[in-house]
Every structure is written in C-alpha cells, then in structure tokens.
Amino acid sequence: MVESTNISQFNLPDGQMAGYRNKNTQEFVYLYMVKWFTPLLLILCPLAGYGQFGANVRYIFGQSETLDLAHISQDGIQASLEYGFRLKQKRIEFHPGLGYRFTFFKEGNYFREDAQHGYFNSIDLDLNTSIYPFDYAGDCHCPTFSKDGNLIKKGFFFEVSPGLAYQTLHREFYFSDPQAAEVPIVSSNLAWKLSIGGGIDIGITETFTLTPLFSWTTLANKKWEGLNADGSDGVLEDQTYLSVGLRFTYKPDPKRRRRF
C-alpha cells in the first residue's frame, strides 16, 4: 500500500510538550487549512453561478482488526461541503469536498473487554468523481433530471474518490504501567485515501437533488504513537471503513442566473 509523508512534530522542550501537544497540533491544522483553502474558495466564488453546491453526511462502520485489538473506536460520522461541476458531453461529474470525520468515544470502565480507550478525528479532502454507466453519453442536466426520465438509467452512478486525510489519534487509556507515559497520547498523520462506491440521484425539484450514497474506503499505512493497547507505537495497515449516507445538492436556476 502507498506510504505518505508524516507531518513534522513540534520541537518543544520536554517539559512543555505534554501540556501543549494536543492544543497546538489542532491549532496548527486549523490555521494550515485556512491558509490554503481560503484562496481556493476565493477562486471558486466567480464560478458560483455555474456549478452546484452540496453537503453530505455519512455514517461510518470501521473494519480494522488492528483498531479493535487496540480498543480504538472506529464507528462515527463524516460531514462534508462540496462544489460540483460536470463535463458537457459525457455523464461524468466532479464533487470535490472538504469535510470533518470523527469516531464516537464514550468514557467508562476502561477495564471492560469491550471498552474504548481512544478515538480518531480527521480533516478530509475528497475528489469525488461520479460516472453514470447507463447514461454515459446522455445530455441530462443532472444532478436533477426530468421526472419523466428513468430513475435508474438517469440517476445511478459509480463514484471513485481519491483524497487526503489529516488524521489525529487520541488515546485516553492503555493497559500498562501508569507511569510509563502521560495520557492522552496524541498522534497525527497525513495520509492518502481512496473510496469506491455508488449512489442514485433523486430529483426533488428543478434545483434540489437528494442522493443516497454508499462507499468503501481505505487509507495508507501509517505509524502511530500510542496505537497499541499497551500504549506503544504501531503501524496501522488495515484502516478501512464502510459508509452510507446522503448528499443534498443545490443547482442554481439558470433562468435566474441570466438576470444578472
């Protein structure tokens, strides 16, 4: 599997690292994303009248045996904002999106066999590409389509989504000497990801479309601090998850655009 580059750590004195680690890492990520995505949004603003805007929310079902053994939660939620556009002559659409993903974590009796000792959160950039196999050469002005069209032929698509994920692992407890290290242990990585799935567009009105989605996602192998159940470092080689959710898309009325 493809390896990706680690984000460099802060070179703080040992006495300050524990206190500032979690807070400074999160602030670094937020500032980094704002720095790079603000110019992108400014570039896309003039295109607002010519594309589509969407939001999607998905429920995640984790599939990693390594994370199960490490007592790290895997099930969670991903929410994204998207900008959509399509090719003129072929039924291929693009929905690049920026989202936030997290896994559920419930504090409790850490010594229970099914207890959770940590969780993930992530900022994701996904380059969603939808291909409509049954209407590939069609002229449907989707994602919405005329109600007299065939739902499966006009609306069904496969979706491939390469992307990047800046993930942070939070370990709140581990089975070892309590003096071995301080908790929480926080570790961050930048990793490639790839999703494969599909969906079907359901036109609600001329400007709004509802799209049920399903997908399978895998992420690049990464070494994580505090990954293992005893608090030691480890390599996560099987981080995959299934997801189901909904995309809600708005396409501006072309008649309204011409007024301006």
Beta strand spans in the chain (E): 52-62, 76-86, 92-103, 118-131, 156-171, 185-200, 202-203, 208-219, 222-224, 234-236, 240-250
Q: Check: CB of residue 124 under 8 Å from CB of residue 163.
A: yes
pLDDT computed for residue 187 by the predictor: 93
Residue 64 CA, distance from chain mean position: 17
The two structure tokens encoding residue 222: 């990464």
pLDDT computed for residue 4 by the predictor: 43
Q: Cβ of 60: how many Cβ atoms within 10 Å?
A: 22
Q: Does pLDDT of 25 surpass 80?
A: no
Amino acid at 78: Q
Cα 251 from Cα 144, distance rounded (Å) = 8
Q: Which CATH code for domain 14-42+51-258?
A: 2.40.160.20
pLDDT computed for residue 216 by the predictor: 97
In the chain, which ranges are continuous DSSP H helix?
14-44, 65-69, 151-155, 254-258
Phi-psi domain of 71 (left: phi exceeds 0; alpha: psi -120 through 50; beta: other): left
Q: Check: CB of residue 215 under 8 Å from CB of residue 159.
A: yes
Q: pLDDT of 159-218, one tens digit each? A: 999 999 999 999 988 776 555 556 788 999 999 999 999 999 998 988 899 999 999 999
